[in-house]
């Protein structure tokens, strides 16, 4: 099986209802320069969606007035996620769980790609360890 390092439309959080639910009922933690909101839930048998991991990104206009800067940061977050998501995605598929995750950029200056990549790597590893703990119980 070839590994697909893609980030299709179906893997992104777009529904306002789902995103609002994620912010209200989900959990969060901070890993500089990001705030990560997430919500695990069980996959229903009637759910035909083959994507167990959905993500969204946001950069506020409070610190970055220019859309060019906001878009740069969003591209960096999506790229870092795209390159590192596969192991977590496979874990979620095996455990029949779904994960919605939303990355909010919460820093006043533009971070380098490596810093964003490390923050997303930390978040995905944390999700992986949460899944392992749930599977052991």
Residue-wise pLDDT tens digits, 8-31: 888 899 999 999 999 999 999 999
Buried b (16+ CB within 10 A) or exposed e, 109-120: ebbeeebbbebb
- Global pTM reads 0.91
pLDDT tens digits, one per residue of 95-111: 888 999 999 999 999 99
State the average pLDDT over residues 118-124.
Answer: 96
- What is the model's pLDDT at position 3? 63
Rounded to 5 degrees, φ, ψ at 87 are: -65, -40
């Amino acid at each position: 099986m070839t590994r697909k390092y893609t980030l299709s439309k179906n893997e992104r959080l777009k529904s306002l209802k789902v995103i609002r639910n994620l912010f209200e009922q989900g959990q969060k933690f901070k890993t500089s320069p990001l705030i990560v909101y997430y919500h695990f839930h069980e996959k229903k048998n009637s759910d035909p969606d083959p994507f167990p991991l959905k993500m969204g990104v946001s950069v506020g206009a409070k610190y970055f007035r220019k859309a060019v800067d906001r878009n740069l940061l969003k591209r960096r977050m999506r790229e870092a996620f795209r390159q590192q998501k596969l192991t977590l995605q496979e874990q979620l598929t095996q455990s029949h769980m779904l994960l919605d995750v939303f990355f909010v950029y919460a820093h006043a200056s533009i971070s380098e790609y490596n810093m964003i990549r490390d923050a997303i790597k930390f978040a995905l590893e944390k999700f992986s360890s949460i899944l392992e703990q749930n599977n052991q119980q």
